[in-house]
Amino acid sequence: MTPRKFQQTIREYYKENKRNFPWRKTRDPYKILVSEIMLQQTQALRVIPKYTSFIQKFPNTYALAHAELKEVLLEWQGLGYNRRALFLKTCAEKIEADFNGKFPKDFKLLCSLPGIGPATAGDILAFAWNIPTVVVETNIRSVFIHFFFKEKEHVHDKELIPLIEKTLDRENPREWYSALFDYGAYLKQTSNPSRRSAHHSKQTAFAGSDRQKRAHVLRIILQKPCTEKEIQTITLYKAHMITKIITELTKEGFIKKIKRGLYTVV
């Protein structure tokens, strides 16, 4: 398929099947960042109510930076991967402290912020300021592998990047990436070509995983300060598992130890 035909196909699909999300109605880089972080590990339809609620409670970087971590984590409940909430708050704090509350319009500076990688930085530039930047993420991989690597396995990003750059709409990257994301979401419901990416990693089951146990322990501590023994009584997890989780959560900045062996959210 020629690049021109490819662009036409994507645009025609988008014209007929454009999805309506609240984060597509804003040009605020903070709100776009919140949506990007939420969407990293969660389906869009599940994100909508959490995004709306989160933005109402923390409407800007100042509000998020000055909020208690406990407030942020309680608002985040239901999305999973609590590190994302911690990264988001830390990022807001850095933007307030180092950039006077304004997001830098610079790819490298954006990538230097907590929780922001190349794909998220590119999305912020495109969706907030319509700045054309090459973005590589799961949905985009799906689209380009589907059209340009139909029979190939283990497709590397370095093979996709020249095509993404060549077909990028430099006049309106905001709409172009929305169209690519929507087509990629459609492909995921059928063949999901991103599985043929060299960068594809299968997500492990949540039920019974260490990740589920971590979330459970953190949820308990969010309700009230607890000792390791109290947590073990509630969860029935083995003592060594409780100690491991507590150590990790403390090291990562989620919780801290206070008097009488109690652990509370930082």
Catalytically annotated residues: 36
Closest CA to 254 of 90, 33, 26: 90
Measured CA to CA in angstroms, residue 98 lies from 3, 60, 92, 95 at distances of 41, 15, 10, 5
> Residue 208 and residue 29: Cα distance in Å, rounded?
37
For residue 241, which of 252, 232, 251 has the smallest C-alpha distance?
Answer: 232
> What is d(CA 30, CA 35) in angstroms, rounded to the nearest whole number?
9
77: helix, strand or coil? coil
Contact 24, 128 (CB under 8 A): no
**Pair 216, 174: CB distance under 8 Å:** no
Residue 3 to residue 11: CA distance in whole angstroms? 12
For residues 59 and 57, give the distance between their C-alpha atoms in angstroms, rounded to a whole number: 6
How many angstroms separate the CA atoms of 162 and 219, rounded? 44
